A and B are shown apart, each in its own frame.
Chain A
Amino acid sequence: MSTTEEFDPALDEAVREVVTHLPRPRAGKDLTRTDAFRAQWNTAVELGWTGILDDADFTDPGSPESRELLDAACGAVTALARAGFALPLRQTLVARYATAEALPADAIAVHPTAYGVWEPAATALVAADGTVSMPVDGGTADEVDLAGRPYRLMYEMGEGGDEAGEALPRRVADVAELLLLQEILGAAEGAVAEARRYVTERVQFGSPLIKIPAVRTIAGELTVSLRQLDTAVHEARRRFRAGDEHSLHFALITAREVASAVSTEVTRAAHQLHGAMGITEEASLHWRTKLLWADRDEGVFSRDRGLDALPADEVELWTLTTPARAGT
């Protein structure tokens, strides 16, 4: 799959190389209670992924330094998801970016933009104003989402979703949303690659499944879905660099909408193609699917999310849907 804008292929290669040697946890558990999780997290910390945004400032998001840091963060998050690993990397990157305080290198840091995901396992909580506190074990019943990530129920946290988001610094919220989109994109790419590999290798009726027109049709649809998501995410990234808040907000909101639809399409179609084998924990599709579902549903409190970003007339619609210029 060619993407409209490749991120650093060396980084992708490095992540792939590292994760192939990492153990997978068993399915259906709280990931943080497995040895595999600890090994994975330690590796991410040792490789310096968690600190990528420590010095990021993004006041000039189009500058070469900002661009490099954002690309690296997006690259690491996407590559990890592409390999089907659910780690608190994205959330930690955002939390560390959101605070001026120094955190231990191996901290699992969580910020309100994480919507409670990983919070029960957090070793540092970064508040909306950037202050850091160490979590106290409040004895709240932790939940585990579809990806095996522990999370805190929002109603128990007493927060109202989008209203809570309003109080957050805009840039932090934008980075969090962008990284979430990148993670969805990575997981979707991984899922599609697995499905495609399966139908190319699996022989039934005397030839590979991909030779059957109906299978090819589904494979074609998957390609279109994925490509849509890739375009939407990269458009948001370009607009982040361009620095216009209104057009970025529109791109993030609509990209999230596209991501939700594509996650559903990809998980359905990839599993259909992969047959029974895809369901098992031995199949790497299994892990990507669960991450896709969990990410898709994360923080979606209201069906009205982002309606304020919609254009009111034709000229605005045309302007907001015009691709960001090259070079951004």
Chain B
Amino acid sequence: MTDTSEDLRRRVRELVAEWDFTPRCDSWASGYDTDFSQELGRRGLLAVTWPKEFGGAEGTNVDRFAVSEELLRAGAPVAAHWVGERQIGPSLLRHGTRELQEEFCPELARAKYRFALGMSEPDAGSDLAAARTRAVRDREGWRVTGRKIWTSGAHRATHLYLLARTSSEEDKHAGLTEFIVSTDSPGITVSPILDLRGEHHFNEVVLEDVHVPGHWVIGEVGAGWQQVVGQLSFERGGPERFLSTYPLLTAVIRAGLADHTGLRELRALAGRLQILRRWALENARAMDAGHTPVTQAAMSKYLGNKFEMDVIEWARPLMPRADRNIHALYDQAVATSPASGIRGGAAQVMLSVIAKGHK
């Protein structure tokens, strides 16, 4: 790791030590604290890979990985900026017009704008290319009608990233386009969907003839599929795919709860954690080298998901001696566990990507 990323790590640790928060599992998806995200932005800890003119630090993906790891390690509340900073900014920088970059990137780098991902639909889950939400051109831009589901954080987001169909082609992968939509546009209804803990993180988003400015198209009209695939490496290959239960793991270690069997099992868990951290680092390096590590990112996600499940199983029999705080972490981990193998691409689909990538 470079000195820059070491310095970034130190700066994250400093902020985390100062900030008043309770560490939680799954903090990148469920720990929402806009002030914290904005403080990260103020301290130059967001968007570190982006050009300086757009609020970045022109660092590497390895630098960004260092920041992400330290934040997740602490179980810090990072959900407010996570998606926007992880994949929307990079996507705009890759495909967006200069106008779009100027309009959105600096605000994303300060966590002033917060995005939710409008990809999945009731009939388009694993088969995302089956999306039916439709965008039609009119004189002032576009009108969008359709239904998105599982849209995490849409109720708190300022904007939606939206994948919509702009023409009907025989090949369902053609004719898709990426848009930005303001969440306070007339015609948008966001309804909560409660999760296994009864918490409200994701939503159903109905769009009825919603106006989208003409220049809020990301990249080329009709090239949405090719572009969105590039986002998936960012979405799947990062440390959030194995560190969601890290606060539980370390709370149990810190409290010395592991019995003899627990220690034996910890040997294997620690070995896999080491592997996963290496993979995530390599994913970041691959991105720095200009690659899109689709297969490798799918491997990270698949194994990361298994690791997170195994941490829970490891901790389970040790819980009777745990205090209230550790119980809270355990409950969070258990209740979010089914989501881990589904969000961002289901486990079986990851395996299929991996098998195809290694002919």
Q: Is B271 an interface residue (CB 8 A)?
A: yes
Given A228-B272, A258-B271, are A314 and B253 also a contact pair (CB < 8 Å)?
A: yes
- Judge whether B278 and A313 touch: CB under 8 Å: no
**A interface footprint on B332-355 (CB within 8 Å = 1, 0 otherwise):** 000000000000000010111111
| Nearest residue, chain B, Cβ from A228 | B275
- Judge whether A227 and B264 touch: CB under 8 Å: no
Q: Is B289 an interface residue (CB 8 A)?
A: no
**B interface footprint on A255-282 (CB within 8 Å = 1, 0 otherwise):** 1011001000000000000000000000
Chain A, interface SS category:
helix
- Inter-chain CA distance A75–B202, complex, in Å, is 51
Q: Is B322 an interface residue (CB 8 A)?
A: no
- Judge whether A232 and B275 touch: CB under 8 Å: yes
How many of chain B's residues touch chain A, expressed as a range?
A: 35 or more
- Inter-chain CA distance A268–B327, complex, in Å, is 37
| Nearest residue, chain A, Cβ from B351 | A220
Q: Is A21 an interface residue (CB 8 A)?
A: no
Which of the segments A51-59, A81-89, A171-179, A316-324 contacts the partner chain? A316-324
- Judge whether A251 and B274 touch: CB under 8 Å: yes
Given A223-B358, A232-B275, are A321 and B351 also a contact pair (CB < 8 Å)?
A: no
Q: Is B263 an interface residue (CB 8 A)?
A: yes
- Inter-chain CA distance A261–B264, complex, in Å, is 13
Q: Is A306 an interface residue (CB 8 A)?
A: yes
- A194 CB to closest chain B CB (Å) equals 14
- Judge whether A323 and B278 touch: CB under 8 Å: yes
- Judge whether B278 and A231 touch: CB under 8 Å: yes
**A interface footprint on B220-253 (CB within 8 Å = 1, 0 otherwise):** 0000000000000000000000000000011001
Which of the segments A32-40, A105-113, A209-217, A283-291 contacts the partner chain? A209-217
- Judge whether B73 and A318 touch: CB under 8 Å: yes
- Judge whether B351 and A216 touch: CB under 8 Å: yes
- Judge whether A258 and B275 touch: CB under 8 Å: yes
- Inter-chain CA distance A252–B73, complex, in Å, is 24
The residues of B that contact A1 with a CB separation of less than 8 Å are: 358
The residues of B that contact A311 with a CB separation of less than 8 Å are: 253, 270
The residues of B that contact A313 with a CB separation of less than 8 Å are: 253-254
- Judge whether A317 and B270 touch: CB under 8 Å: yes
- Judge whether B354 and A321 touch: CB under 8 Å: no
- Inter-chain CA distance A165–B277, complex, in Å, is 30
- B3 CB to closest chain A CB (Å) equals 11
Give the one of B275, B350, B359 with max A CB within 10 A: B275
Q: Is A156 an interface residue (CB 8 A)?
A: no
- A189 CB to closest chain B CB (Å) equals 12
- A14 CB to closest chain B CB (Å) equals 25
CB-CB contacts below 8 Å: B264-305 with A:
264, 266-268, 270-275, 277-279, 281-282, 299, 302-303
- Judge whether A322 and B352 touch: CB under 8 Å: no
The residues of B that contact A223 with a CB separation of less than 8 Å are: 299, 354-355, 358
- Inter-chain CA distance A1–B73, complex, in Å, is 31
Q: Is A72 an interface residue (CB 8 A)?
A: no
Given A217-B348, A223-B354, are A314 and B254 also a contact pair (CB < 8 Å)?
A: yes
Give the one of A4, A224, A306, A307 with max B CB within 10 A: A224
**5 examples of A-B residue contacts, CB within 8 angstroms:** A223-B355, A254-B267, A313-B254, A321-B274, A323-B281
Given contacts A200-B359, A217-B351, A220-B351, 6 further A-B contacts (CB under 8 A): A216-B355, A217-B352, A220-B355, A224-B303, A232-B271, A235-B274
- The chain B residues found within 8 Å of chain A, CB to CB, are 1, 73, 249-250, 253-254, 260, 263-264, 266-268, 270-275, 277-279, 281-282, 299, 302-303, 348, 350-356, 358-359
